[in-house]
Amino acid sequence: MKNIKYMILPVLLLITGSLIAQQTPAPKQTTPITIVGATAHIGNGEVIENSLIILEDGKIRTITDANTTKMPYRGTIIEAQGKHVYPGFIAPNSTLGLVEIDAVTQSDDEDELGEMLPHVRSIIAYNAESQVVESMRPNGVLIGQITPRGGRISGTSSVVQFDAWNWEDAVLKENDGVHVNWPSSVRRGRWWEGEEPGIKPNNKYEEEVLKLKDFFKNSKAYLAGPRDRTNLPFEAMDPVFSGKSKIYIHADGEKEIVDIINFKKENDLKNVVLVGAYNGYKVADELKKNNIPVLIGRVHSTPNLEDQDYDLPYKMAKLLNDKGVLVGLETSGQMERMNSRNLPFYAGTVVAFGANKEDALKMITSNTAKILGVDDTLGTLEVGKDATVFISEGDALDMRTNKVTKAFIQGRDISLESHQTELGKRYSDKYTQ
């Protein structure tokens, strides 16, 4: 009897999973698509009020003002007067596809044992059929940077598109950068150790920074030597030192950010990106001077300290942008995978607190594409770039009007259905009965 019970459970799980599986990925584009009349938000600050866009062979072949051209329409015609078209939004520093259910250990692949893990590749753990991943698309979030967590050096991220059978189909840029969690100079009192609550100095800060510096020093020495024995962590640092890949350093404190700037200089690191950067606005001039872009922490947050402006997280991106720092928005934090669908509305909040609307749009399109090193194919509506675009009935940065009617990834007409949209329809029908 007990054996029968254990046999039935996996079968039920299999049946349930098949009922709520992800939508089938769209086939390759075979017919040109012409989008006519939409307001095109290019993603670089420009807007075309009455646009003509032609997508062909997965690329943007034409984008122009429909008022000034007599170019013939081709293939499938989409009349989009009164609507808006955007480049696909990009969610950086995300664990989408690495964790499905937080409480189920077997579905959690965001972290590995160890401290210095630059050789750990998040992409091979990415689940392209995640139900959480498919729920991004109805809001226009079509691209993500899949990032590991944990340790001092978490591992290597990769950039993917959100309509694929597996990680091999999904990947757009493999191993784009290594992620480092910089030590914190402060910590909170540990009640389980009998310490008083509140923020205290981290007495081991210098020691922890020294360990990180030693790892970089030893990596350089190994890479410059004969390499008689393979050391995978040291090997993985080669693209970082050569500048072929980015190094994303996660930190929030002012002291930590200043130390990171000095660390960049000491190690001659060419492609440093600051992630989080809660106090980055205090040293914005130095970030600009040292050509360090920022992926700013979640906009929909409360201030860290009681004496800070209530709206500091809302206006932080504008403060950095006004100083000339290249800024992108990221969504990490509590329930980050589910909240990633709100990325466009974080940009909308940045607008509500002073930023220009097209500047805020750049923070989830072209700026982020530049930071991740994929701006040659993504981030803007320009001829030759991937046809990764979507059409919304209204302003995509406003949750009241962001109603995506069509979305394309590399020209493929993707499904906008998800488990959530199916439930939405089900319960809408309930109240009509």
Q: What is the pLDDT of residues 158-178, one digit of tens each?
A: 999 999 999 999 999 999 999
Give residue 367's pLDDT.
98
- Cβ-based burial of 309 (10 A; exposed 0-12, middle 13-18, buried ≥19): exposed
Looking at residues 382-387, what average pLDDT do you find? Answer: 97
Give residue 422's pLDDT.
85
Give the E-state strand segments of 88-196 in sequence order. Answer: 89-94, 141-146, 153-161, 171-181, 186-188
Looking at residues 113-117, what average pLDDT do you find? Answer: 93
The structure tokens listed for 347 are 């940009």
Give the mean pLDDT of the chain.
Answer: 91
Give residue 3's pLDDT.
52
* Cβ contacts of 253 within 8 Å, gap of 6 or more: 184, 185, 186, 278, 279
Neighbours of 415 (CB within 10 A): 16
Does residue 17 register a pLDDT over 60?
no
3-state secondary structure of 251: strand
Residue 276, beta-bridge partner list: 251, 296
Kindly tell me the sign of the dihedral angle through the C-alpha atoms of 335, 337, 342, 347.
positive
Neighbours of 244 (CB within 10 A): 14
Does residue 77 register a pLDDT over 60?
yes
Structural contact between residues 40 and 52, judged by C-beta atoms closer than 8 angstroms: no
Give residue 16's pLDDT.
43
Neighbours of 286 (CB within 10 A): 15
Provide the residue count of the chain. Answer: 433
Give residue 6's pLDDT.
46
Q: 11: pLDDT confidence band, cut at 50, 70 and 90?
A: very low
Q: Three-state SS across 371-417?
A: HHCCCCCCCCCCCCCECCEEEECCCCCCCCCCCEEEEEECCEECCCC
- Residue 239 phi/psi, 5-degree rounding, is -65, -25
Looking at residues 224-243, what average pLDDT do you find? Answer: 93
Give residue 424's pLDDT.
83
β-pairing verdict for 33-36 and 76-79: parallel
Report d(CA 345, CA 398) in Å as an integer. 6
- Eight-state DSSP code of residue 432: T
Give residue 1's pLDDT.
43
Report d(CA 347, CA 139) in Å as an integer. 13
Report d(CA 346, CA 333) in Å as an integer. 14
Give residue 188's pLDDT.
79
H-only helix segments in 120-181 = 131-134, 167-170
Does residue 19 register a pLDDT over 60?
no
Q: 22: pLDDT confidence band, cut at 50, 70 and 90?
A: low
Q: In the chain, count of helices (H) and strands (E)?
A: 14, 20
Q: 99: pLDDT confidence band, cut at 50, 70 and 90?
A: confident
Does residue 202 register a pLDDT over 70?
yes
Residue-range domains of the chain with CATH: 22-87+379-433 (2.30.40.10), 89-378 (3.20.20.140)
**pLDDT exceeding 90 applies to what percent of the chain?**
78
Give residue 307's pLDDT.
87
Does residue 183 register a pLDDT over 90?
yes
Q: 9: pLDDT confidence band, cut at 50, 70 and 90?
A: very low
Does residue 12 register a pLDDT over 50?
no
Question: Residue 40 is inside which H or E element, if any?
Answer: strand 39-41
- Cβ-based burial of 254 (10 A; exposed 0-12, middle 13-18, buried ≥19): middle
Give residue 110's pLDDT.
84
Residue 40, beta-bridge partner list: 48, 85
* Amino acid residing at 120: V
The structure's pTM equals: 0.91
pLDDT tens-place string over residues 186-199:
887 777 767 777 78
Give residue 104's pLDDT.
78
